[in-house]
């Protein structure tokens, strides 16, 4: 029996981000300016994002982008993250499959999001900016950004979806400890916020709305830019450290995964995990099966449409071609807050559309059952988001048990569940409910998608 944990040294933290787009023959569709329906130019994006990140966002060709030493130094405080062989889970399931997971929850933000937050804060500081604005749903991204801003010396203003702001007051305190200014969204401090509050007085907010507010403030405040924790190409680029480390660790012990699984909200932890493996598949060097696991209540890949849509409810952001449920779609308040986004990364959307990967959707009570099995077997209390990947990994391992195939499964355990104890409480009390939108709900929601551009 080999070790449970496969460790890398600090020297094995990747020196470059791997840009999967460089290996895609058909590139993800460009962001469009909703006014002109033409691709967003660097000039236009620079009003919202800092310059280096704009360059990364638009770069479809450079395969490897060097990670500045300052970012690598910060990564050293919590990376490399371990790849763990889930022997106890395998035994419990009685599967011939080998299950590995890459754990990203070993930092105070509790998730993989710090990988991109560190990069985004660094480039903003390097440009001489004063601060950034952002949104947060469940709170992981806001926490990660607060930590990174504290480290690199930037102001940080976080619009937190009101439902979470009220449900998760302790998340807020973590962010405030790192010096962030946290505002419940919709707020009366922005035009978008005020108009939404007028239209929907009791609203608990949404990620799309918080994005609109954060962009409005960034664009209107001197020395400020906006940062986003998922969906964008640049975020998937930064998250490639996850996949590169996993690839190195497994190569060290001579293991090649057959099936690679991740949960998907906006697609960044999955995109980062699969990046180097998908690169091999795209270049025709190796084959893998990739599975995206999403919530049945917000099923953008499995039931959405591949269309140009706004990334935000307030329609102040560019249009992205992605699997979307419609920018006004407000998913039921499930506990996997990080997966409640109506759209999906354009990279993941394009790969899915090309048939390079599969997607599955799960209801939250079956996801928590998987979380419980995993927690009892492996000791780690998983985030509800990550538990979607666990559920898919368990299902796949049980298929192997049926067929007698000893496949190797790698899944991304994107975070810990310590801030989601109210959700675990509901599950343990047996009061958790599932909500799946009907076809009628989805048909109604997709109507808000703007007219599509003529073929570019």
Ligand X SMILES: *Cc1c(COP(=O)(O)O)cnc(C)c1O
CB nearer ligand X, residue 363 or residue 385: 385
CB nearer ligand X, residue 292 or residue 316: 292
Contact between 64 and 16 under an 8 Å Cβ cutoff? The reply is yes
Told to check if 383 binds ligand X by CB under 6 A, we report yes
CB nearer ligand X, residue 215 or residue 383: 383
| Alpha carbon separation from 201 to 137, 196, 249, 445 (Å, rounded) | 19, 8, 51, 20
Which run of H or of E encompasses 136? strand 131-136
In the complex, minimum distance from the CB of residue 123 to ligand X, in angstroms, rounded to a whole number:
19
Span from 85-93, 208-216, 220-228, 259-267 in contact with ligand X (CB under 6 A): 259-267
The rounded distance, in Å, linking the Cα atoms of 40 and 67 is 25
* Interacting residue with ligand X among 115, 120, 206, 269 (CB under 6 A): 269
In the complex, minimum distance from the CB of residue 105 to ligand X, in angstroms, rounded to a whole number:
7
In the complex, minimum distance from the CB of residue 115 to ligand X, in angstroms, rounded to a whole number:
10
Residue numbers 132-191 binding ligand X by CB under 6 A? 140
Contacts of 73 (CB under 8 A, 6+ apart): none
Q: Which pairs from 319-323 meet CB under 8 Å and 24+ separation?
A: 319/31, 319/32, 319/33, 319/34, 319/37, 319/450, 320/29, 320/31, 320/32, 320/231, 320/346, 321/28, 321/29, 321/346, 321/349, 321/350, 322/231, 322/346, 322/349, 323/349, 323/352, 323/353
CB nearer ligand X, residue 104 or residue 363: 104
CB nearer ligand X, residue 95 or residue 269: 269
Contact between 335 and 306 under an 8 Å Cβ cutoff? The reply is no
In the complex, minimum distance from the CB of residue 321 to ligand X, in angstroms, rounded to a whole number:
18
CB nearer ligand X, residue 212 or residue 414: 414
Strand partners, 261: 291, 411
Told to check if 297 binds ligand X by CB under 6 A, we report no
433 exposure class (CB count in 10 Å sphere: 0-12, 13-18, 19+): exposed
CB nearer ligand X, residue 14 or residue 142: 142
Q: Tokens at residue 87, please?
A: 């022997």
| Phi, psi (rounded to 5 degrees) for 224 | -115, 150
Told to check if 386 binds ligand X by CB under 6 A, we report yes
Strand partners, 224: 131
Told to check if 267 binds ligand X by CB under 6 A, we report yes
Contacts of 199 (CB under 8 A, 6+ apart): none
CB nearer ligand X, residue 98 or residue 298: 298
Span from 43-51, 94-102, 205-213, 378-386 in contact with ligand X (CB under 6 A): 378-386
The rounded distance, in Å, linking the Cα atoms of 284 and 429 is 49
Span from 145-153, 180-188, 257-265, 296-304 in contact with ligand X (CB under 6 A): 257-265
Span from 11-19, 52-60, 260-268, 314-322 in contact with ligand X (CB under 6 A): 260-268
Q: Tokens at residue 262, please?
A: 């991740």
* Interacting residue with ligand X among 265, 276, 279, 304 (CB under 6 A): 265
The rounded distance, in Å, linking the Cα atoms of 345 and 343 is 7
In the complex, minimum distance from the CB of residue 380 to ligand X, in angstroms, rounded to a whole number:
12
Residue numbers 311-350 binding ligand X by CB under 6 A? 338-339
* Contact flags string 404-423 toward ligand X, x per CB under 6 A: ----------xx--------
- Number of residues near ligand X (by CB under 6 A): 18
First to last CA, the chain: 54
Span from 63-71, 72-80, 190-198, 263-271 in contact with ligand X (CB under 6 A): 263-271
CB nearer ligand X, residue 95 or residue 120: 120
Other residues' Cβ atoms within 10 Å of the Cβ of residue 455:
4
Told to check if 205 binds ligand X by CB under 6 A, we report no
Contact between 119 and 268 under an 8 Å Cβ cutoff? The reply is no
Peptide bond into 80 cis (omega under 30): yes
Span from 214-222, 301-309, 314-322, 383-391 in contact with ligand X (CB under 6 A): 383-391
CB nearer ligand X, residue 90 or residue 245: 245
Contact between 340 and 137 under an 8 Å Cβ cutoff? The reply is yes
Told to check if 268 binds ligand X by CB under 6 A, we report yes
Told to check if 237 binds ligand X by CB under 6 A, we report no
CB nearer ligand X, residue 52 or residue 135: 135
* Interacting residue with ligand X among 81, 111, 167, 212 (CB under 6 A): 111
DSSP 318: P
* Interacting residue with ligand X among 79, 102, 113, 281 (CB under 6 A): 113
Residues that bind ligand X (CB under 6 A): 111, 113, 140, 230, 263-269, 338-339, 383, 385-386, 414-415
């Amino acid at each position: 029996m080999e070790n449970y944990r496969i460790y890398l040294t600090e020297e094995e933290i990747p020196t470059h981000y791997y840009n999967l787009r460089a290996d895609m023959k058909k590139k993800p569709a460009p962001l469009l300016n909703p006014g002109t329906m033409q691709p967003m130019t660097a000039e236009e994006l620079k009003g919202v994002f800092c310059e280096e990140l704009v360059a990364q966002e638009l770069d479809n060709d450079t395969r490897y982008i060097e990670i500045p030493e300052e970012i690598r130094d910060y990564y050293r405080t919590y990376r490399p993250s371990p790849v763990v062989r889930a022997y106890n889970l395998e035994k419990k399931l009685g599967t011939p499959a080998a299950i590995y997971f890459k754990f990203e929850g070993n930092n105070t933000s509790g998730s993989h999001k710090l990988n991109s937050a560190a990069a985004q804060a660094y480039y903003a500081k390097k440009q001489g900016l004063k601060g950034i604005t952002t949104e947060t749903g469940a709170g992981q991204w806001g926490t990660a950004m607060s930590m990174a801003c504290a480290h690199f010396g930037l102001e940080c203003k976080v619009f937190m979806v009101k439902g979470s702001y009220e449900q998760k007051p302790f998340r807020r305190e973590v962010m405030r400890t790192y010096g962030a200014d946290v505002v419940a969204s919709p707020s009366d401090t922005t035009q978008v916020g005020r108009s939404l509050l007028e239209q929907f007085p009791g609203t608990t907010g949404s990620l799309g709305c918080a994005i609109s507010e954060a962009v409005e403030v960034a664009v209107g405040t001197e020395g400020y830019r906006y940062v986003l924790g998922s969906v964008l190409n640049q975020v998937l680029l930064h998250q490639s450290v996850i996949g590169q480390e996993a690839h190195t660790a497994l190569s060290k012990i001579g293991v090649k995964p057959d099936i690679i699984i991740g949960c998907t909200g906006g697609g960044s932890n999955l995109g980062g995990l699969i990046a180097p493996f998908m690169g091999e598949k795209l270049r025709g060097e190796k084959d893998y099966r990739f599975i995206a696991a999403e919530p049945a209540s917000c099923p953008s890949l499995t039931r959405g449409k591949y269309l140009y849509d706004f990334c935000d409810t307030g329609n102040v952001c560019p249009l992205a071609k992605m699997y979307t449920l419609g920018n006004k779609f407000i998913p039921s308040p499930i506990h996997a807050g990080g997966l409640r986004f109506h759209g999906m990364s354009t990279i993941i959307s394009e790969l899915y559309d090309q048939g390079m990967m599969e997607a599955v959707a799960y209801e939250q009570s079956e996801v928590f059952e998987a979380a419980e099995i995993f927690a009892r077997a492996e000791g780690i209390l998983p985030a509800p988001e990550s538990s979607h990947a666990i559920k898919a990994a368990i299902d796949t391992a049980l298929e192997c048990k049926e067929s007698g195939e000893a496949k190797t499964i790698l899944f991304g355990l994107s975070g810990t569940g310590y801030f989601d104890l109210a959700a675990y409480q509901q599950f343990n009390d047996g009061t958790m409910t599932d909500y799946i939108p009907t076809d009628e709900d989805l048909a109604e929601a997709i109507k808000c998608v703007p007219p599509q551009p003529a073929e570019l």
